[in-house]
């Protein structure tokens, strides 16, 4: 990703931004780790939807390098 792509800005609807911020703020108050993790994933999914296609490709490549994405095998009957 070059410097122009790193500094690219995209508009995000106010209600999506507010929803993600409320999820993060609410997640801080939760006791169980699973609930906090759910709130964080909710906010990250909101933000991920507004990334540029180039940034999504770079992020997915980084996740693959880290080995965090598990290969799933789907078996159809």
At 28 the pLDDT is 86
Residue 54 neighbours by CB under 8 Å, 6+ apart: 1, 5
At 74 the pLDDT is 81
Distance CA 49, CA 47 (A): 5
pTM of the model: 0.62
At 48 the pLDDT is 87
Find where tokens 């911020």 sit: 21
Distance CA 47, CA 27 (A): 16
Domains of the chain, residue spans:
12-66
- pLDDT tens sequence for the chain (77 residues): 677 767 777 788 888 888 888 888 988 888 888 888 888 888 888 888 888 888 888 888 888 888 877 777 888 87
């Amino acid at each position: 990703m070059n410097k122009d792509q790193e500094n690219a800005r995209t508009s995000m609807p106010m209600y999506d931004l507010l929803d993600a911020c409320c999820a993060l703020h609410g997640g801080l108050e939760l006791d169980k780790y699973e609930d906090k993790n759910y709130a964080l994933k909710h906010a990250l999914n909101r933000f991920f939807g507004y990334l540029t296609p180039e940034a999504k490709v770079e992020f997915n490549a980084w996740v693959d390098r880290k080995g965090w994405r598990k290969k799933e095998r789907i078996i159809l009957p």
